[in-house]
């Protein structure tokens, strides 16, 4: 066995059938990955069992057989080895959305946003089989130049990988090139943020009327963007001043009760006065064209456009910073930590014994939210680079 790197590419040299040594390029980034692929190909060739190969190893193995003009084993043949060259990115997206469970997933709105970005960059008519690792890295680099956070780019690349996985399961492709692209470190874009009362209202006052209720809800509740946009009328219990989300509606997959601050009650009352036959969502798009369901792309454009028009100093506050701000305000207001975490909810945090067996009443939640103050100093945003 021999592993070499030439012109930035890794090559493995092996004796697959205990005969002459042959070499083949492997699309990986580290020597460790190259060694692993060499071992898998050698084992598969000597046992004549190619079904055990993963996508990367199978692609390299097919290339090796092609380079040597050897007859391709049956396990490496099939539709996937002769991909449909006419399969465009847009056709792939249509197949993806029709696949069981994709549309119904909690983060389908994230996938929709990621797909919009991918289609904008590559184009609808881009042939999916022609997508290679350098092009994926080029996309990633451009998104970072555009100001996207590393975690956002990682989610978009993960969505692309999911599309490839669906195409493999549908036997349109045999290899997922995205799997070899390493994730960006999220630490380079970590933020510590606090949006002041003054700056928040400065931004909100410049927003369209339909957007203000959404922003005020985020500021007074600490809810995630997806939770707010997905909020339905029956989840808002105004008489009890409580928002109740089911397990399927939260990132952490647990039910959650969010108390409604007194100042938020009239805002939600006004929002609930407007309805649309096409949806039972609380927050709708209202403009000169009428009332209709709100699309994510429309929502996402408002906040940065307003920050630009106000000529705010960068780094700008982000909509998600309102959640960070709520947590800071709650802590500085002296809210009990257990109640604070119960309202916020965190997917990465396990409940301790006290939380699993202790019940927080609605009255405790309401008293906690009513005791909050929302003006604790100037805006502070620190971004790690």
Residue 80 pLDDT greater than 60, yes or no: no
Tell me what pLDDT residue 108 has. 84
Residue 81 pLDDT greater than 70, yes or no: no
Residue 298 pLDDT greater than 90, yes or no: no
Domains of the chain in sequence order: 2-77 (no CATH), 89-189 (1.10.150), 194-375 (1.10.443.10)
Q: What are the tens digits of pLDDT across the range 320-331?
A: 999 999 999 999
Tell me what pLDDT residue 52 has. 76
Tell me what pLDDT residue 82 has. 45
Reading the block at residue 89, the tokens are 């990115």
Categorize the per-residue pLDDT at 84 as very low, low, confident or very high, splitting at 50, 70 and 90: very low
Q: How far is CA 196 from CA 219, 303, 323, in A?
A: 11, 16, 13
- pLDDT, the chain, mean: 88
Tell me what pLDDT residue 350 has. 61
Average the pLDDT over 187-209 and give the result.
89
Q: How far is CA 170 from CA 14, 79, 136, 210, in A?
A: 32, 10, 22, 42
Highest average pLDDT, of 102-116, 227-241, 244-258, 282-296, comes from 227-241
Cα gap 289→272, rounded to integer Å: 19
How many angstroms separate the first and last alpha carbons of the chain? 41
Average the pLDDT over 25-43 and give the result.
86
Tell me what pLDDT residue 311 has. 92
Average the pLDDT over 265-289 and give the result.
92
Tell me what pLDDT residue 49 has. 85
Sign of CA dihedral 328, 269, 258, 207: negative
Residue 192 pLDDT greater than 90, yes or no: no
More confident residue, 151 or 118: 118
């Amino acid at each position: 066995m021999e592993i070499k790197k030439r012109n930035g590419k890794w090559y493995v040299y092996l004796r697959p059938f205990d005969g002459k040594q042959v070499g083949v390029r492997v699309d990986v980034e580290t020597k460790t990955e190259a060694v692993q692929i060499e071992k898998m190909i050698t084992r598969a060739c000597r046992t004549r069992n190619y079904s055990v190969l993963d996508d990367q190893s199978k692609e390299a193995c097919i290339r090796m057989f092609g380079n040597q003009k050897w007859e391709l084993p049956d396990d490496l043949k099939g539709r996937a080895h002769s991909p449909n060259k006419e399969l465009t990115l847009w056709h792939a997206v249509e197949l993806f959305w029709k696949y069981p469970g994709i549309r119904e997933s909690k983060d389908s709105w994230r996938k929709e946003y990621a797909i919009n970005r991918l289609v904008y960059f590559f184009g609808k008519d881009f042939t999916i089989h022609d997508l290679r690792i350098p092009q994926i890295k080029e996309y990633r680099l451009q998104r970072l130049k555009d100001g996207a956070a590393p975690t956002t780019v990682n989610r978009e690349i993960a969505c692309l990988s999911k599309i490839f996985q669906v195409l493999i399961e549908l036997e349109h492709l045999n290899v997922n090139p995205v799997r070899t692209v390493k994730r960006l470190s999220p630490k380079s874009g970590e933020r510590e943020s606090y949006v002041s009362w003054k700056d928040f209202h400065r931004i909100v006052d410049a927003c369209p009327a339909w957007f203000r209720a959404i922003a005020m809800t985020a500021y007074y509740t600490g809810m995630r963007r997806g939770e707010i946009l997905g909020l339905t009328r029956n989840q808002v219990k105004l008489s009890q001043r409580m928002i109740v989300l089911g397990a399927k509606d939260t990132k952490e997959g647990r039910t959650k009760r969010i108390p409604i601050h007194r100042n938020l009650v009239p805002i939600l009352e006004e929002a609930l006065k407007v309805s649309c036959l096409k949806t039972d969502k609380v927050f709708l798009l209202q403009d000169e064209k009428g009332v209709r369901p709100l699309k994510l792309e429309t929502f996402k454009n408002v906040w940065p456009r307003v920050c630009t028009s106000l000529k705010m100093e960068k780094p700008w506050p982000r909509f998600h910073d309102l959640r960070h701000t709520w947590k800071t305000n709650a802590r500085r207001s002296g809210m009990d930590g257990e109640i604070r975490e119960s309202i916020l909810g965190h997917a990465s945090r396990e409940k301790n014994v006290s939380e699993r067996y202790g019940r927080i009443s609605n009255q405790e939640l309401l008293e906690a939210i009513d005791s909050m103050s929302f003006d604790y100093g100037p805006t502070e945003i620190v971004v790690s680079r």
